Chain A
């Protein structure tokens, strides 16, 4: 009897152990599969590039619509913007102030941005190209401006892309 019980217990333990091993194996497989999916999702350069281009489209649309809140929201908290002939803008608060100040005193009546390249590496993307715009101040004639830009985008925790570094050059006189 004792032997039978011992044997049954042994069989039960064996079954339990086997079951646990299978569960752990399944868990390990699931984790491995999750890690794999996660990795390939995070580093799909084509999809990331498309997302960055879409973010730039939203940025330009916001400029065209004089939408300071949306323009400002597309910059990261630690944004750095090397503006023409002014001190470097550092941080979101300063960037927000600049954007609101500009868009409250002038209106971009026309804007075209031509992106020449978008390169992605992990959670960073760099994008450059040229722009042309017509700026209408509160007084005076419309002023056409054209130049080049370079943006460094950074993927946010929610998967969206925001501008972390930006610089613009003026080529109006060329």
Chain B
């Protein structure tokens, strides 16, 4: 009987071991970490520390700026940010985060004032991914501005 029980236990263990590993849970700690990334981005942008900012992105991260073309990959993101006009003020508000397993998402309002440009208010959706070493990175950001769409440049009437 004991041998039978032991065999059954062994079989059950083997069965469980053969299963796919359970996906990691999204914990309170993960929530805090992901929320902290919002704060870190604000710090990076205000300091124009674009290297630190770019390092928070996944290697294949992508940014959809409002009314702009997609920027894909960390090097392209860094180059894009380094060409950015000086930032006079920048903040997020109403940050809301949720997650599941290795993916998380957050929404927030965005306030930004660039030199020589009108202040912009926008909304963003951010997706985060936990990499194989357990670090949460920014996978994708999409921003939509509350400002009116830019008007096409006026064309001169032909004489």
Residue B41 at the chain A interface, CB threshold 8 Å: no
Task: Tell me the smallest distance from the CB of A68 to a CB of chain B, in Å.
Answer: 22
Residues on the A chain within 8 Å of B113, using CB: none
Contact, CB under 8 Å: A167 / B123 = yes
Residue B146 at the chain A interface, CB threshold 8 Å: yes
Contact, CB under 8 Å: A25 / B144 = no
Residues on the B chain within 8 Å of A124, using CB: 99-101, 103, 105
Kindly identify, within residues 69 to 118 of chain B, every residue whose CB is under 8 Å from any CB belonging to chain A: 69-70, 96, 99-103, 105, 107
Interface contact tally, CB-CB below 8 A = 140
Contact, CB under 8 Å: B101 / A122 = yes
A39 to B139, CA, bound (A): 25
Contact, CB under 8 Å: B4 / A18 = yes
Residues on the B chain within 8 Å of A119, using CB: 103, 127, 129, 139
- Per-residue CB contact flags for chain A residues 62-88 toward chain B (1 = under 8 Å, else 0) read 000000000000000000101111001
Nearest-CB residue, chain A, relative to B107: A80
Residue B150 at the chain A interface, CB threshold 8 Å: yes
Contact, CB under 8 Å: A39 / B22 = yes
Q: Contact partner of B4 among A22, A167, A168, CB < 8 A?
A: A22
Contact A83-B15, Cβ < 8 Å, known A39-B20, A169-B66: no
Nearest-CB residue, chain B, relative to A172: B149
Task: Tell me the smallest distance from the CB of B99 to a CB of chain A, in Å.
Answer: 7
Nearest-CB residue, chain B, relative to A80: B107
Residue B143 at the chain A interface, CB threshold 8 Å: yes
Residues on the A chain within 8 Å of B102, using CB: 121-122
Residues on the A chain within 8 Å of B67, using CB: 169-171, 173-174
Contact, CB under 8 Å: B5 / A25 = yes
Minimum-distance CB pairs A-B, first 3? A122-B101, A121-B103, A25-B8
The interface of chain A, by Cβ under 8 A from chain B, is 14, 17-18, 21-22, 25-26, 28-29, 32-33, 35-36, 39-40, 43, 80, 82-85, 88, 119-126, 128, 148-150, 152, 154, 164-174
The interface of chain B, by Cβ under 8 A from chain A, is 1, 4-5, 8-9, 11-12, 15-16, 18-20, 22-23, 26, 62, 64-70, 96, 99-103, 105, 107, 123-125, 127, 129, 139-140, 142-150, 152
A-B contact pairs, 16 of them (CB 8 A): A25-B8, A26-B8, A28-B9, A35-B16, A40-B19, A43-B101, A119-B129, A120-B103, A121-B101, A121-B129, A122-B23, A124-B99, A126-B103, A152-B127, A167-B123, A172-B149
